Structure 1
């Protein structure tokens, strides 16, 4: 039996304790974690395969590649650019899953304030398969409003990101 890895969650963002949580996963054959990883961590590629992201910048310099401790900003889901900070970064290796997570925030009034943790896990599975899991916990009134929308824009948006990521890795 193969055990699949899980996201590492800081207590503040533990799934089911915030205002919105989504989980999306794909398992596909013919692609490796090493092939997927550059498309996930190089923000210069994001807009080529995912249309729900814009205005990516690195206000303190650096980029476009993410790394542990990187600060960047990006717009998504109609929000103005969110201030993001990479809190976990582990490249995939033999028997070790790739892990990437960032916090993203929007300040303002309570009706505008948003605080999220978006996490990714990319791992090779037996039989030439790769598993990509992305999960996000959101805190704040905008998150609670998103959670009530049907169809769920976060669930659908993250699935589009996964699907685009796989297409880009297969090119």
Structure 2
């Protein structure tokens, strides 16, 4: 079952047929970026293809162990937060409800820089649904995350400019 998986170990790049990373320098503080990542109500403003996000544990923001459901790129997805180091690292693992054997693990690392933050994301995926999508368009996941980073940077920078 979902909760019994050791997500970080099970989804290491060496065990996953799909693995990609994306990174971007952002003119926003780690705190601002973090605030957007842990508040799913903000995701539709920067996360391409995200539908409603429902937190399943009564939390109002993500924290270690938070379980959530959302719609990503047309797939109803169940996930839970597996790593949580405030303002520096968050990761969740999950699967599309239509293909529970298709797993994904998405990590975010935020590093302070003199002008803001270095934002780095890594995702590993395995299972028939993801493999079939990758066969149809080998760059689809990487490209989607490039767009995600650019949109997140824009929203974070705008938020800081409004606050500052």
Distance 1:10 1:157, change over 3 A: same
- Aligned partner of 2:17 in structure 1 is 19
TM-score (norm 1): 0.80
Summarize deviations over 1:72-102 as a string: whole Å, max 9, x none.
11111221x211110111112xxxxx10001
- Aligned partner of 1:95 in structure 2 is none
Report the 3-state secondary structure (helix = DSSP H, G, I; strand = E; otherwise coil) of the residue aligned with 1:10: helix
- Aligned partner of 1:116 in structure 2 is 104
Identify which of 103, 125, 147 aligns with 2:93. 103
- Aligned partner of 2:50 in structure 1 is 53
**Structure 2 portions without partners, runs of 5+:** 1-6, 159-164
The question of 1:76 aligning with 2:72 is answered yes
- Aligned partner of 2:29 in structure 1 is 32
- Contact 1:104–1:115 (Cα < 8 Å) also in 2: yes
Number of aligned residue pairs:
152
**Structure 1 portions without partners, runs of 5+:** 1-8, 93-97
Which of the two has greater helix per residue?
2
Identify which of 3, 8, 11 aligns with 1:10. 8
TM-score (norm 2): 0.83
Report the 3-state secondary structure (helix = DSSP H, G, I; strand = E; otherwise coil) of the residue aligned with 2:42: helix
